[in-house]
Structure 1
Amino acid sequence: MSTSYDPSGVHPVLGVDAGTTTLREADHLVRDLASTLALPPGTVACTHLIRTDARRGTAVSLEFPDHESAATAWRHLTESEPPQGDREAATQAATDHTARRSGRAVLFPGMEHLTGTVPLSDLLERTAIDRVIVVGATSGELPTPTTPVHTQDHVRPEWREGELVLALVPAVGGTLAPFEVPNPTPCCADHG
């Protein structure tokens, strides 16, 4: 497992490349790491699409709320398993997360409040999500704070220009739903 660790930031970030190739595999890696590393509350874990000369796939970044928990995770990752994966991919994931320019958040503060259907105001007030965009909405058209959001228990905001942004789509009855669905239908590239 290749990792990247820079203790100089306000919130330390580790990059992990375990050879995952799909977002689904990366989501499972995040859950495994959350359990194995006993990630503390406040940790933000993201998946990243990686396209380097040596690697095509996904990597993970972990942003810790403090240096002590990051150092503990770093020791566990580097001492318990022989290094695998691509160091460049891990570094890219950590760098992009630190800069908040990319990363699909799988774990983030407040995500436990996003089960079932919740008002849009709860989504914004009770979680780390900074803002939402509604795919297909005209410029300036914002839903009301009471608009129901059907989370499908699968909410994956992304870092965009320094903000954690959730893409939503219109759903039945004037409601909204996350753009990313939990079990998408595979595209033609996944067949044969």
Structure 2
Amino acid sequence: MTWYALTVDAGLRDLRSADHLLHAWAAELPLAEVVFGCTHLVRDGRPRVAVSLTAREAESAQAVRDLLVARGYAVTDGAPDSVGRAVLYPGADALRGTMTVERVLSASAIDAVTVLGAAPGPPDPATSLVTRDHVRPQWRDGRLVLTAMPAAGGALVPFEVPDPTPCCADH
């Protein structure tokens, strides 16, 4: 399957701002045909966070490009890298509250869950995952993978917390 990706470098300095921008576009623009909205850390002479949107059809990508250019954004073809952090993806809105790993995988585009500090291999599908309503998987080798960590009571939580304490505001 061919995918059509676009990147917007809006000069954002943090992931929270990039998440907000992607959610605002999802609410304001006709992005029904956009399948993924990701953030990408850009580490050149001017560190920042870029965002990418990926569609299944060239026409959909072009329509999104035209709308974003009309709003004053500089849009380039392709994603800046292959390891984007997914914010918008099929099933993301269904990942609320506590659910099993099996449900996370069946209800969303997430292909796998890995657990930091655990034995090799995937977690038991019946393991509870407390989503904190903030599930940000990343692309790894063409698969969307959620990194989790152990939590109280044998449950898991996504590694990324919803409201991180900024430690490196000028990264």
TM-score with structure 1 setting the length: 0.81
Quick one: distance in 1 between partners of 2:34 and 2:27?
A: 15
| Deviation of 1:143 (Å) | 2.2
Task: Tell whether the 8 Å contact from 2:33 to 2:60 is kept in structure 1 after alignment.
Answer: no
Q: What is the RMSD of the two structures over their aligned residues, measured on CA atoms?
A: 2.0
Change (3 A) 1:59 1:155: same
Q: Name the residue aligned to 1:26.
A: 18
Read off the aligned partner of 1:151 and give its amino acid letter. Answer: T
Aligned to 1:10: 2
Cα offset, 1:41, TM superposition: 5.3
SS of 1:52's partner is: coil
Q: Partner residue of 1:4? A: none
Deviations 1:19-44 (CA, angstroms, capped at 9, x unpaired):
10101111111112212322115520
Structure 1 distance, partners of 2:163, 2:83, is: 22
| Aligned match of 1:178 | 158
Aligned to 2:120: 139
Under a length normalisation based on structure 2, what TM-score does the superposition of the two structures give? 0.90
CA–CA distance in structure 1, aligned partners of residues 67 and 129 of structure 2: 38
From 35, 47, 54, the equivalent of 1:43 is 35
Give the number of the structure whose residues are more often helix, by fraction. 1
Partner of 2:71: 81
What one-letter code is carried by the residue in structure 1 that aligns with 2:95?
L
Corresponding position: 1:162 with 2:142: yes
1:105 aligns with 2:86: yes
The answer (yes or no) to whether the contact 2:114–2:123 under 8 Å persists in 1 is no
Aligned-partner Cα distance in 2 for 1:60–1:32: 13
Q: What percent of counterpart residues are identical?
A: 46
The count of residues paired between Structure 1 and Structure 2 equals 170
Partner of 2:12: helix, strand, or coil? coil
Question: 2:40 aligned with 1:59, yes or no?
Answer: no
Secondary structure in 2 matching 1:18: strand
Partners of 1:83 and 1:52 in 2: CA distance? 20
Unaligned runs of 5+ in 1: 1-8
CA distance in 1, matches of 2:41, 2:47: 8
Unpaired stretches in structure 2, ≥5 consecutive residues: none
CA contact (8 A) 1:154 1:181 kept: yes
Contact 1:41 1:109 in 2 (8 A): no
8 Å CA contact 2:8, 2:73 repeated in 1 = no
CA contact (8 A) 2:34 2:61 kept: no
Which deviations, in whole Å up to 9, do the C-alpha atoms of 1:154-191 show, x marking residues without a partner?
0000011111110000011010000000001222x349
Whole-angstrom distance in 2 between the partners of 1:186 and 1:82 = 29
